Amino acid sequence: MPLELVTLRCLKDNYAYLLHGEGGTALIDAPEAMPILTELEARGWTLDAILLTHHHGDHIDGVAEIVKATGAQVIGNGNDAERLPPLDVAATPGQRLTVLGEPVDVIDVSGHTVGHVAFHFPQSGCAFTADSLMAIGCGRLFEGDAPMMWDSLTRLNALPGETQICSGHDYCAANGAFALSVDPDNAALRDRLEAVADSHRPCSPATLEEERATNPFLRVNELRDALGMQGAPDVEVFARLRKMKDEF
Protein backbone atom coordinates (compact mmCIF):
# COMPACT_ATOMS: atom_id res chain seq x y z
CA MET A 1 0.00 0.00 0.00
CA PRO A 2 1.23 3.57 -0.70
CA LEU A 3 2.37 5.52 2.30
CA GLU A 4 -0.09 7.95 3.89
CA LEU A 5 0.93 11.55 3.23
CA VAL A 6 0.09 14.43 5.57
CA THR A 7 0.87 18.04 4.63
CA LEU A 8 1.64 20.32 7.58
CA ARG A 9 1.74 24.10 7.52
CA CYS A 10 4.62 25.55 9.56
CA LEU A 11 5.93 29.04 10.28
CA LYS A 12 4.32 31.61 7.97
CA ASP A 13 4.22 29.74 4.68
CA ASN A 14 6.33 26.57 4.95
CA TYR A 15 5.21 23.02 4.35
CA ALA A 16 6.53 19.95 6.12
CA TYR A 17 5.33 16.43 5.34
CA LEU A 18 4.71 13.28 7.32
CA LEU A 19 4.78 9.88 5.62
CA HIS A 20 3.31 6.92 7.47
CA GLY A 21 3.02 3.23 6.76
CA GLU A 22 3.56 -0.19 8.26
CA GLY A 23 7.29 0.56 8.40
CA GLY A 24 6.80 3.61 10.62
CA THR A 25 6.73 7.38 10.12
CA ALA A 26 9.09 9.81 8.42
CA LEU A 27 9.20 13.60 8.31
CA ILE A 28 10.46 15.64 5.38
CA ASP A 29 11.97 18.92 6.60
CA ALA A 30 11.49 20.44 10.03
CA PRO A 31 10.74 24.17 9.89
CA GLU A 32 9.54 24.21 13.52
CA ALA A 33 8.86 21.54 16.10
CA MET A 34 5.49 22.31 17.70
CA PRO A 35 3.04 21.65 14.83
CA ILE A 36 4.91 18.50 13.87
CA LEU A 37 5.06 17.05 17.38
CA THR A 38 1.41 18.00 17.91
CA GLU A 39 0.36 16.14 14.74
CA LEU A 40 2.39 13.08 15.67
CA GLU A 41 0.79 12.94 19.10
CA ALA A 42 -2.71 13.44 17.69
CA ARG A 43 -2.26 10.54 15.29
CA GLY A 44 -0.43 8.30 17.74
CA TRP A 45 2.53 7.98 15.40
CA THR A 46 6.15 7.44 16.43
CA LEU A 47 8.65 9.32 14.29
CA ASP A 48 11.49 7.19 12.93
CA ALA A 49 13.32 9.43 10.46
CA ILE A 50 13.73 13.06 9.40
CA LEU A 51 14.79 13.70 5.79
CA LEU A 52 16.33 17.12 5.14
CA THR A 53 16.33 18.74 1.71
CA HIS A 54 18.69 21.67 2.32
CA HIS A 55 20.36 23.76 4.99
CA HIS A 56 18.14 26.85 5.24
CA GLY A 57 16.82 27.51 8.72
CA ASP A 58 13.19 27.44 7.70
CA HIS A 59 13.69 23.78 6.80
CA ILE A 60 15.91 22.58 9.68
CA ASP A 61 15.32 24.76 12.75
CA GLY A 62 12.97 22.25 14.37
CA VAL A 63 15.30 19.28 14.05
CA ALA A 64 17.02 19.39 17.45
CA GLU A 65 13.77 19.64 19.42
CA ILE A 66 12.08 16.92 17.36
CA VAL A 67 15.06 14.56 17.72
CA LYS A 68 15.13 15.19 21.48
CA ALA A 69 11.42 14.34 21.70
CA THR A 70 11.38 11.34 19.37
CA GLY A 71 14.89 9.97 18.89
CA ALA A 72 14.36 9.98 15.12
CA GLN A 73 17.39 9.49 12.90
CA VAL A 74 18.35 12.38 10.61
CA ILE A 75 19.05 11.84 6.90
CA GLY A 76 20.54 14.46 4.60
CA ASN A 77 23.09 15.19 1.91
CA GLY A 78 26.48 14.17 3.22
CA ASN A 79 28.13 16.56 0.76
CA ASP A 80 26.52 19.44 2.66
CA ALA A 81 26.78 17.95 6.15
CA GLU A 82 28.67 20.90 7.63
CA ARG A 83 25.61 23.12 7.09
CA LEU A 84 23.01 20.60 8.28
CA PRO A 85 22.16 19.31 11.76
CA PRO A 86 24.14 16.20 12.76
CA LEU A 87 23.33 13.41 10.32
CA ASP A 88 22.79 9.77 11.21
CA VAL A 89 22.68 8.88 7.51
CA ALA A 90 24.88 10.91 5.16
CA ALA A 91 23.26 10.27 1.79
CA THR A 92 24.80 10.93 -1.61
CA PRO A 93 22.91 12.40 -4.57
CA GLY A 94 22.18 9.53 -6.94
CA GLN A 95 21.95 7.05 -4.08
CA ARG A 96 18.92 4.85 -3.46
CA LEU A 97 18.00 4.55 0.22
CA THR A 98 15.37 2.49 1.97
CA VAL A 99 12.99 4.47 4.18
CA LEU A 100 9.84 3.01 5.77
CA GLY A 101 10.49 -0.15 3.79
CA GLU A 102 10.35 1.69 0.45
CA PRO A 103 13.07 2.70 -2.01
CA VAL A 104 13.92 6.40 -1.98
CA ASP A 105 16.00 8.08 -4.66
CA VAL A 106 18.16 11.02 -3.57
CA ILE A 107 18.18 13.55 -6.44
CA ASP A 108 20.58 16.46 -6.81
CA VAL A 109 18.42 19.57 -7.28
CA SER A 110 21.04 22.26 -6.65
CA GLY A 111 20.23 25.81 -7.67
CA HIS A 112 18.36 27.40 -4.78
CA THR A 113 21.29 26.16 -2.72
CA VAL A 114 24.28 24.09 -3.72
CA GLY A 115 23.68 20.74 -2.07
CA HIS A 116 19.88 20.86 -2.19
CA VAL A 117 18.41 17.38 -2.69
CA ALA A 118 14.95 16.01 -3.42
CA PHE A 119 13.62 12.68 -2.19
CA HIS A 120 11.61 10.58 -4.64
CA PHE A 121 9.51 7.69 -3.32
CA PRO A 122 8.70 5.89 -6.60
CA GLN A 123 6.60 3.18 -4.99
CA SER A 124 4.28 5.70 -3.32
CA GLY A 125 4.54 8.14 -6.23
CA CYS A 126 5.69 11.28 -4.44
CA ALA A 127 8.71 13.56 -4.62
CA PHE A 128 9.73 16.06 -1.95
CA THR A 129 11.27 18.91 -3.91
CA ALA A 130 11.23 21.71 -1.28
CA ASP A 131 12.65 24.89 -2.85
CA SER A 132 13.67 23.49 -6.24
CA LEU A 133 10.51 22.68 -8.22
CA MET A 134 7.73 24.44 -6.33
CA ALA A 135 4.00 24.84 -6.75
CA ILE A 136 3.62 27.00 -9.90
CA GLY A 137 7.23 28.10 -9.56
CA CYS A 138 10.80 27.32 -8.57
CA GLY A 139 13.16 28.50 -5.89
CA ARG A 140 15.15 31.70 -6.08
CA LEU A 141 18.79 31.17 -7.09
CA PHE A 142 20.61 32.07 -3.88
CA GLU A 143 23.72 29.91 -4.40
CA GLY A 144 23.44 28.29 -7.82
CA ASP A 145 22.87 29.69 -11.28
CA ALA A 146 20.29 29.27 -14.02
CA PRO A 147 22.01 26.33 -15.79
CA MET A 148 22.30 24.48 -12.47
CA MET A 149 18.63 24.99 -11.63
CA TRP A 150 17.52 24.15 -15.16
CA ASP A 151 19.42 20.85 -14.93
CA SER A 152 17.67 20.17 -11.63
CA LEU A 153 14.22 20.94 -13.03
CA THR A 154 14.97 18.75 -16.04
CA ARG A 155 15.81 15.82 -13.75
CA LEU A 156 12.58 16.29 -11.84
CA ASN A 157 10.56 16.74 -15.02
CA ALA A 158 11.70 13.28 -16.12
CA LEU A 159 9.72 11.66 -13.28
CA PRO A 160 6.35 10.06 -14.10
CA GLY A 161 3.59 12.58 -14.67
CA GLU A 162 1.43 11.19 -11.87
CA THR A 163 4.17 11.88 -9.27
CA GLN A 164 2.92 14.08 -6.42
CA ILE A 165 5.26 17.08 -6.20
CA CYS A 166 5.57 18.21 -2.58
CA SER A 167 6.80 21.80 -2.43
CA GLY A 168 8.50 23.51 0.48
CA HIS A 169 6.28 26.60 0.61
CA ASP A 170 2.84 27.99 -0.07
CA TYR A 171 3.80 30.71 -2.54
CA CYS A 172 0.83 29.98 -4.79
CA ALA A 173 -0.62 33.49 -4.81
CA ALA A 174 2.65 35.20 -5.76
CA ASN A 175 3.75 32.42 -8.10
CA GLY A 176 0.32 32.33 -9.71
CA ALA A 177 0.27 36.09 -10.29
CA PHE A 178 3.61 35.90 -12.07
CA ALA A 179 2.57 32.85 -14.07
CA LEU A 180 -0.55 34.65 -15.29
CA SER A 181 1.54 37.65 -16.31
CA VAL A 182 3.56 35.54 -18.76
CA ASP A 183 0.94 32.90 -19.61
CA PRO A 184 -2.39 34.80 -19.48
CA ASP A 185 -4.34 32.48 -21.78
CA ASN A 186 -3.57 29.33 -19.78
CA ALA A 187 -6.98 27.97 -18.75
CA ALA A 188 -5.45 25.18 -16.65
CA LEU A 189 -3.50 27.76 -14.66
CA ARG A 190 -6.61 29.86 -14.02
CA ASP A 191 -8.55 26.79 -12.92
CA ARG A 192 -5.79 25.75 -10.53
CA LEU A 193 -5.59 29.17 -8.93
CA GLU A 194 -9.36 29.38 -8.53
CA ALA A 195 -9.38 26.00 -6.81
CA VAL A 196 -7.11 27.17 -3.99
CA ALA A 197 -8.01 30.88 -3.83
CA ASP A 198 -10.91 30.67 -1.39
CA SER A 199 -10.06 27.57 0.57
CA HIS A 200 -7.64 26.42 3.22
CA ARG A 201 -6.59 23.48 1.08
CA PRO A 202 -2.81 23.38 0.65
CA CYS A 203 -1.66 24.11 -2.89
CA SER A 204 0.88 21.33 -2.50
CA PRO A 205 1.14 18.53 -3.41
CA ALA A 206 0.13 18.63 -7.04
CA THR A 207 0.96 16.14 -9.74
CA LEU A 208 3.93 16.72 -11.99
CA GLU A 209 1.48 16.66 -14.90
CA GLU A 210 -0.36 19.57 -13.28
CA GLU A 211 2.92 21.44 -12.83
CA ARG A 212 3.76 20.84 -16.48
CA ALA A 213 0.45 22.42 -17.45
CA THR A 214 0.62 25.45 -15.12
CA ASN A 215 4.21 26.15 -14.02
CA PRO A 216 5.97 28.66 -16.29
CA PHE A 217 9.39 27.24 -15.43
CA LEU A 218 8.36 23.92 -16.98
CA ARG A 219 6.71 25.63 -19.96
CA VAL A 220 9.68 27.23 -21.68
CA ASN A 221 8.68 25.73 -25.04
CA GLU A 222 5.17 27.20 -24.78
CA LEU A 223 6.46 30.63 -23.67
CA ARG A 224 9.52 30.98 -25.91
CA ASP A 225 7.77 32.89 -28.71
CA ALA A 226 5.84 35.15 -26.33
CA LEU A 227 9.18 36.19 -24.81
CA GLY A 228 10.63 36.96 -28.25
CA MET A 229 13.25 34.23 -27.82
CA GLN A 230 12.65 32.14 -30.92
CA GLY A 231 15.55 29.72 -31.38
CA ALA A 232 17.03 30.36 -27.92
CA PRO A 233 18.12 27.32 -25.89
CA ASP A 234 15.77 26.16 -23.15
CA VAL A 235 18.15 27.24 -20.41
CA GLU A 236 18.22 30.81 -21.73
CA VAL A 237 14.43 30.99 -21.77
CA PHE A 238 14.38 29.64 -18.22
CA ALA A 239 16.98 32.22 -17.14
CA ARG A 240 14.87 35.02 -18.61
CA LEU A 241 11.78 33.77 -16.79
CA ARG A 242 13.66 33.46 -13.48
CA LYS A 243 15.00 37.03 -13.85
CA MET A 244 11.51 38.29 -14.66
CA LYS A 245 10.14 36.55 -11.56
CA ASP A 246 12.88 38.09 -9.40
CA GLU A 247 11.86 41.54 -10.63
CA PHE A 248 8.10 40.92 -10.61
At residue 195, the pLDDT reads 82
The answer to whether 116 is a known ligand-binding residue is no
39-74 pLDDT, tens digit each: 999 999 999 999 999 999 999 999 999 999 999 999
Q: Which helix (H) or strand (E) holds 22?
A: none
Q: Any idea where the domains of the chain sit in the sequence?
A: 4-247
Question: Do 128 and 17 meet the contact criterion of CB atoms below 8 Å apart?
Answer: yes
Length of the chain as a residue count: 248
At residue 64, the pLDDT reads 98
Please tell me the pTM assigned to this model: 0.96
Q: pLDDT at residue 1 above 70?
A: no
The answer to whether 112 is a known ligand-binding residue is yes
At residue 2, the pLDDT reads 84
Preceding omega of 205 cis (within 30 degrees of 0): yes
CA dihedral 223, 229, 230, 233 (to 10 degrees): -90
Superfamily of structural domain 4-247 = Ribonuclease Z/Hydroxyacylglutathione hydrolase-like (3.60.15.10)
97-115: average pLDDT: 97
Which among 49, 46, 59, 37 is positioned nearest to 99, based on CA atoms? 49
The answer to whether 131 is a known ligand-binding residue is yes
192-221 pLDDT, tens digit each: 988 877 666 778 899 999 999 999 999 999
CA dihedral 42, 45, 51, 55 (to 10 degrees): 30
The answer to whether 58 is a known ligand-binding residue is yes
At residue 200, the pLDDT reads 67
The answer to whether 54 is a known ligand-binding residue is yes
